[in-house]
Amino acid sequence: MKRSYILKNSIFLVFVVVSVCCLLVLVLSMHRLPEISLQRPYRTTINRKVSTNELGKFAEMMLEMLPEDLAFTVFVPSAKAFERDLRLQVNDSLVGDKMNNTDAIISRVLGFSAVPRTLSSVSVPYGEGISYDSLSGFTLYISKGLDGMLMVNRVRSERVDVKKGKLVVHVMDGVIMDAEFEQSVQLDFNEGD
């Protein structure tokens, strides 16, 4: 009988020691976790429906070239960037031979600025750059500023995380393109002057 009492007492002792150790590990691990701020340091436009007028005609033309049932991220130039960097204007670009040239330019820009994956600004970490290949194989280097705006190949975004179906659209204050295409566009501008 005395042996049974010692055996029961030792099982109880082991149970208490294991429980105290587990509780101690839990308390210590919770104590060492970093604090997380619940406030967002920036504002973004998420899941907002946009109209054609807000993105611009050329941006809409770019988005219409992509399949609707697949997820893409597109860094579209703003209407001002299309006019400033590519000299495309809605009123004279959408008729006759200029329409074919405009389609070619827009599809080329789409190849440089579309990534076949969903990439929201929230998924880009602060202080770190990430890179993805665009549809044309052009490497896009993406980083995020403290205000939550993205930088893609030194082109800053005006708006981020605009949803259009399965597409994630970031409106950029410039045109993302490789050096060869940029040089050909500049040559066309110089010949036209």
pLDDT at residue number 45: 42
Grouping H, G, I as helix, E, B as strand and the rest as coil, residue 42 is: coil
Cα(151)–Cα(132) distance, integer angstroms: 13
Cα(80)–Cα(82) distance, integer angstroms: 5
Render pLDDT for 136-184 as a digit per residue (tens, 0 to 9).
Answer: 999 999 999 888 899 999 999 999 988 888 889 999 999 999 888 888 8
Render pLDDT for 15-60 as a digit per residue (tens, 0 to 9).
Answer: 889 999 988 888 877 766 555 544 444 444 444 444 445 778 888 8
Task: Give the mean pLDDT of 48-76.
Answer: 79
The number of folded domains in the chain is: 2
Note whether residue 144 is domain-resident: yes
Render pLDDT for 99-147 as a digit per residue (tens, 0 to 9).
Answer: 568 888 898 999 999 999 999 988 898 888 899 999 999 999 999 988 8
Check which CATH number belongs to the domain holding 95 and give it. Answer: 2.30.180.10
Note whether residue 41 is domain-resident: no
pLDDT score of 13 more than 80: yes
Closest CA to 141 of 115, 168, 108: 115
Range of the domain at 102: 52-192
Note whether residue 111 is domain-resident: yes
| pTM beyond 0.85, yes or no | no
Q: Are residues 112 and 163 in the same domain?
A: yes
Q: Are residues 153 and 178 in the same domain?
A: yes
